[in-house]
């Protein structure tokens, strides 16, 4: 269980770092996205983070079998 929690936290850190890196690289390249698009991007990353947390707390939450 502890291993799953640590792996999940590492995954959350990598997802957050990837999100910030994507926005930063796009800014460096001169592609400035509107604030609404960036907000939607972060909401999607947040939903992925919630999915990871749910799968840590309930390992079989994603399966169709009871």
Residues 6 or more apart from 11 whose CB is under 8 A from it? 52
Alpha-carbon torsion 23, 29, 34, 37, what sign?
negative
Contacts of 8 (CB under 8 A, 6+ apart): 52, 53, 55, 56
DSSP state of 31: -
Q: Please provide the size of the chain in residues.
A: 66
The Cα–Cα gap between 55 and 8 comes to 9
Mean pLDDT per 10-residue segment, the chain (66 residues)? 85 92 94 92 92 81 60
**Boundaries of every domain in the chain:** 2-57
Tell me the two tokens of residue 22. 């994507």
Q: Report pTM.
A: 0.74
């Amino acid at each position: 269980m502890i291993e799953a929690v640590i792996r999940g936290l590492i995954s959350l850190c990598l997802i957050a770092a990837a999100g910030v890196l994507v926005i930063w690289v796009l800014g460096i390249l001169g592609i400035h996205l509107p604030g609404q698009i960036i907000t939607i991007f972060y909401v999607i990353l947040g939903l992925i983070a919630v999915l990871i947390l749910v799968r840590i707390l309930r390992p079989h939450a994603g399966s169709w079998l009871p």
